[in-house]
Structure 1
Amino acid sequence: MVHLTATELASRLGVSRRHAIDLLAEGSIAGRKLSSGAWLADADSVLRYETSFRRGGGRKLDANTAWGLLWELSGLEATWLTPSTLSRTRRRLRTWGADELARAVSGRTRAHRYRAANATKAGEELIATGRSAAGQLRVGLMDDTRQVSGYVRRGEIDEYARTHFMAASTSGQDVLYDNTLPITYDGDTMPAAVIAADLAVSTDTRERSGGLRALTELRNAWLALN
């Protein structure tokens, strides 16, 4: 099934229909509102929501702290964190496993789905992540250049999509992420922990498994040094 009605979504999540519509309207679950006023939810986004927000509960970090945790896990310096926040972040890394880490940082960005006329051209100006940069992690996955997966460097996502011939689609496999980083990042590819975290909430079982495995390996390497 590609789409769910608001009633089907409410039944699946065990919430009221009103709450299901609120999740769609606020963008927590990707969907579209028809001219009739009815909502359709993207089934893939529903699964991501269940994975990131519902399974096992757990705290979600604010965007700046979540980015800081992923920077620290990647062996980089999160210069925007205060000493006390950095200390708390390091304590979390010592106690949280891969699943908990993936859930905790999942709220720092939002994925927008599209269909690109030319994936290579559409991805040229993005900071690659997820499946587009999976080969960086060395967990048995390869970079998938057939599809777009990246963070916009600056500006609005809709404008980037328009100028790169990408059509919004709740069932599209090309993904643009909001860039909520508190710093300017000029790399062509996101740091390893960011790539792993984005894979860890994928609806593709192999990608999700690879992302969680990479987070575990990165955490073990971090623990060995700290």
Structure 2
Amino acid sequence: MAGVSVKQAAESLGVQPQTVRKMIRERVLELEPGMEGVALIISSASLARARAARAAPRRRGRAWSARVAWAAIDLLAGGRATWLNPAERHRLRNSLVYFGAADIAWLARNRASVHRYRATSEAVPLVAEHVIATAGSAVARSPEVAAAFGLTGGTGFVDGYVPAGAAQQIADAYGLAEDPAGNVVLREAEFTEALLNGAPLPAVALDLADSTATRERSAGLRYLEERLADG
């Protein structure tokens, strides 16, 4: 997809150009690879994600810390979030009653730092060996995950969790190039206790809900709503 100018991005988002420049500085919007310092040509993929976020209902409240975000994910998965003390766990469990899927997606947005790359077809399966699969990769690897979300898996891409600091090491090892619309998504998680047995389904749902693909986003949000309804 071709990139867009600051003016075009501002018109698409309904904001002023200076707001777009601020969004670039804050990495809400990303530049097309190779354009840094040459011209502000914004990635169409990152613009689509920003547009989807602005279209969602506005949420209030500060994002959870990674520790609390993963505790909420663990509770939704039927776990006990044992890294919280009993009072913290009680408050979080009670608060989940008042949230919808879009609220959880908003509050848990600090669960990981997302890095996107472009990899060759030969590198994709090698990179996949280093990640805990989530989103589309989890759907592709597991029929049970695919059934849980009513999705079918694809090939030629990787989406997964890695420890904090590992993304650049993997990129260097396999020659990955930064690309906002790339086929490799590495989600660096500082808090990994909830990932010891793989990505919990609520985490997969949250990552699907971040997708610009309507079907994936809807499947992720629908799963979260069902888990919240189950209590």
Query: Do the structures match in fold with TM over 0.5?
Result: yes
CA distance in 2, matches of 1:49, 1:108: 18
Counterpart of 1:11?
Answer: 11
CA distance in 2, matches of 1:186, 1:82: 20
TM-score w.r.t. structure 1 length? 0.85
State which of 198, 202, 205 in structure 1 corresponds to 2:214: 205
- The two structures, once aligned, show a CA RMSD in angstroms of 2.4
Q: CA 1:15–1:185 in structure 2 vs 1: closer, same or farther (change >3 Å)?
A: same
Q: State the Cα distance separating 1:127 from its structure 2 match.
A: 0.8
Q: CA 1:184–1:155 in structure 2 vs 1: closer, same or farther (change >3 Å)?
A: farther
CA distance in 2, matches of 1:50, 1:120: 31
Counterpart of 2:174?
Answer: 164
CA distance in 2, matches of 1:153, 1:182: 7
1:57-112 deviations in whole A, cap 9, x for unaligned?
11332322222111111112223334343233222321211222222212332322
Q: Name stretches of at least 5 consecutive residues in structure 1 with no aligned partner.
A: none
CA distance in 1, matches of 2:4, 2:89: 41
Q: CA 1:73–1:2 in structure 2 vs 1: closer, same or farther (change >3 Å)?
A: farther
The reply to whether residue 124 of structure 1 matches residue 115 of structure 2 is no
Q: CA 1:84–1:53 in structure 2 vs 1: closer, same or farther (change >3 Å)?
A: farther
The reply to whether residue 56 of structure 1 matches residue 57 of structure 2 is yes
Task: Check the 8 A contact 1:147/1:174 in 2, yes or no.
Answer: yes
Counterpart of 2:138?
Answer: 133
Q: Report the count of equivalent residues.
A: 221
CA distance in 2, matches of 1:152, 1:29: 23
The farther-off stretch of 28-37 and 134-143 is 28-37
The reply to whether residue 104 of structure 1 matches residue 89 of structure 2 is no
CA distance in 1, matches of 2:51, 2:85: 32
Q: CA 1:51–1:159 in structure 2 vs 1: closer, same or farther (change >3 Å)?
A: same
Give me the identity figure in percent.
Answer: 30
Task: Check the 8 A contact 1:80/1:182 in 2, yes or no.
Answer: no
CA distance in 1, matches of 2:151, 2:26: 33
CA distance in 1, matches of 2:114, 2:29: 10
CA distance in 2, matches of 1:16, 1:84: 44
CA distance in 2, matches of 1:63, 1:41: 28
Task: Check the 8 A contact 1:125/1:153 in 2, yes or no.
Answer: no
CA distance in 1, matches of 2:165, 2:115: 14
Give 1:1-226 correspondences, 5 Å limit. 1-32=1-32, 34=35, 36-52=37-53, 55-58=56-59, 59=61, 60-117=63-120, 118-134=123-139, 135=143, 136=145, 138-181=148-191, 183=193, 185-187=195-197, 189-221=198-230, 223=231
3-state SS, counterpart of residue 27 of structure 2: coil
1:167-209 deviations in whole A, cap 9, x for unaligned?
221221321112132637433x311100000001100111111
CA distance in 2, matches of 1:95, 1:67: 18
Q: State the Cα distance separating 1:157 from its structure 2 match.
A: 1.2
Which amino acid is the alignment partner of residue 149 of structure 2?
Answer: V
Q: Name stretches of at least 5 consecutive residues in structure 2 with no aligned partner.
A: none
1:31-72 deviations in whole A, cap 9, x for unaligned?
257354432222222232333466211133232222211111
Which amino acid is the alignment partner of residue 42 of structure 2?
Answer: A
Task: Check the 8 A contact 1:98/1:216 in 2, yes or no.
Answer: yes
3-state SS, counterpart of residue 21 of structure 1: helix
